[in-house]
C-alpha cells in the first residue's frame, strides 16, 4: 500500500520517493518487492542505479517479482534498459510465462539499431535454447520485422520443431518480416496442414500478413487441401 501511495505522489516528488522504493526492492516480502518494482518503473528518472536494482530482481525466487521487474525495465525507457538487456535475454528461458512475456516486451522497447545488435544473441537462443526460450526468442525477433532477416533460415527451421509453441512463434515471426520473408512462403504453407490448430492459425495469419507475396503459396495450399481430402473447400 505504501509503495502504491508513493507512486501516486507523482514525478514531482520522485527524487525523494525513489531511494525508498529502491531500498524496498530488497524487502523480505515478495508482495513489497513486486509493488516497489512497479513503482520504480513508473517513477524512474534515468539513474543507472534504478535499472541495476531492477535487473537484480530478474532472478528473484518469486515469479511475480521477476515479471514486475522485467516490465518495469521496459517502462524506464530505451536508454536505461540497454544495460539490462543481457539479464532480460536470460529471462527468455524463464519458467514463468508472464516473466518471459514481460522480458520480450521490454527488449522490444530498445528498438532501432540497439535491437539489431541483439539479433545474434536471440538467434543463439532460437537455435539452442529450451522450447520456452526458443518461443520467446522467435517472438522477440518477430517484433524486429525485416531487421531480423539474418535469422530467416533459423526461423524456417523452427517451423519443424517438435514443440507446437515454437512452430507457432516462428510462423508469427516470419509473418512480421515483410518482403524479405517471401522465400519462406512454401514453408509457411506447409504449416497450414500442421497437426496443431494454433500452428495452423499462425501460418495462415503469417501468409495473410505477407499479402501479395503470399500468392506463391496458392499451389501449396491447394495441394494441402487435396491431401486432407478437402478439395471441395476450394470451390
Residue 34, pLDDT above cutoff 90: yes
Could you tell me if 81 and 109 are in contact, meaning their C-beta atoms sit under 8 angstroms apart? Answer: yes
Residue 20, C-beta contacts closer than 8 angstroms, at least 6 positions apart: 6
Task: Locate 143 and state its grid cell.
Answer: 517484433
Residue 231, pLDDT above cutoff 80: no
Q: Crossing angle for the helix pair 63-76 and 30-43, nearest 10 degrees? A: 10
Task: Locate 56 and state its grid cell.
Answer: 537484480
Task: Locate 61 and state its grid cell.
Answer: 525466487
Q: Crossing angle for the helix pair 197-209 and 164-175, nearest 10 degrees? A: 10
Residue 132, pLDDT above cutoff 50: yes
pLDDT of residue 14: 59
Residue 128, pLDDT above cutoff 80: yes
At 195 the three-state DSSP class reads coil
Instruction: Name the pLDDT band for 179 (thresholds 50, 70, 90).
Output: confident
Q: Regarding predicted confidence, which is higher, 67 or 86?
A: 67
pLDDT digit string, tens, across residues 133-159: 899 889 888 888 888 899 999 999 999
Q: Crossing angle for the helix pair 131-143 and 164-175, nearest 10 degrees? A: 10
pLDDT of residue 174: 96
Residue 199, pLDDT above cutoff 70: yes
**Alpha carbon distance 227, 15 (integer Å):** 66
Task: Locate 121 and state its grid cell.
Answer: 544473441
**Alpha carbon distance 221, 204 (integer Å):** 10
Residue 12, C-beta contacts closer than 8 angstroms, at least 6 positions apart: none
Residue 196, pLDDT above cutoff 90: yes
Most confident of the following: 47-56, 124-133, 138-147, 169-178 = 169-178
pLDDT of residue 166: 96
Burial of 16 (0-12, 13-18, 19+ CB in 10 A): exposed
Residue 74, pLDDT above cutoff 90: no
φ, ψ for residue 37 (rounded to 5)?
A: -65, -45
Residue 60, pLDDT above cutoff 90: yes
Residue 112, pLDDT above cutoff 70: no
- Rg of the chain in Å (alpha carbons): 21
Amino acid at each position: 500500500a505504501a509503495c502504491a501511495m508513493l507512486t501516486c505522489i507523482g514525478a514531482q516528488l520522485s527524487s525523494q520517493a525513489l531511494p525508498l522504493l529502491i531500498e524496498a526492492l530488497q524487502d523480505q516480502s515478495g508482495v513489497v518487492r513486486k509493488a516497489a518494482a512497479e513503482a520504480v518503473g513508473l517513477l524512474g528518472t534515468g539513474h543507472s542505479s534504478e535499472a541495476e536494482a531492477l535487473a537484480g530482481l530478474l532472478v528473484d525466487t518469486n515469479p511475480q517479482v521477476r515479471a514486475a521487474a522485467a516490465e518495469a525495465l521496459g517502462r524506464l525507457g530505451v536508454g536505461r534498459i540497454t544495460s539490462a538487456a543481457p539479464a532480460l535475454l536470460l529471462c527468455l528461458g524463464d519458467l514463468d510465462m508472464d516473466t518471459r512475456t514481460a522480458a520480450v516486451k521490454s527488449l522490444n522497447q530498445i528498438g532501432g539499431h540497439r535491437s539489431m545488435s541483439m539479433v545474434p544473441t536471440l538467434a543463439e537462443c532460437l537455435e539452442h535454447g529450451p522450447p520456452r526460450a526458443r518461443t520467446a526468442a522467435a517472438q522477440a525477433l518477430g517484433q524486429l520485422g525485416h531487421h531480423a532477416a539474418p535469422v530467416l533460415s533459423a526461423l524456417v527451421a523452427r517451423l519443424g520443431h517438435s514443440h507446437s509453441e515454437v512452430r507457432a512463434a516462428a510462423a508469427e515471426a516470419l509473418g512480421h518480416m515483410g518482403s524479405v520473408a517471401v522465400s519462406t512462403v512454401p514453408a509457411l504453407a506447409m504449416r497450414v496442414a500442421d497437426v496443431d490448430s494454433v500452428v495452423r492459425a499462425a501460418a495462415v495469419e503469417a501468409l495473410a500478413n505477407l499479402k501479395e507475396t503470399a500468392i506463391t503459396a496458392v499451389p501449396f495450399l491447394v495441394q494441402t487441401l487435396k491431401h486432407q481430402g478437402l478439395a471441395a473447400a476450394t470451390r
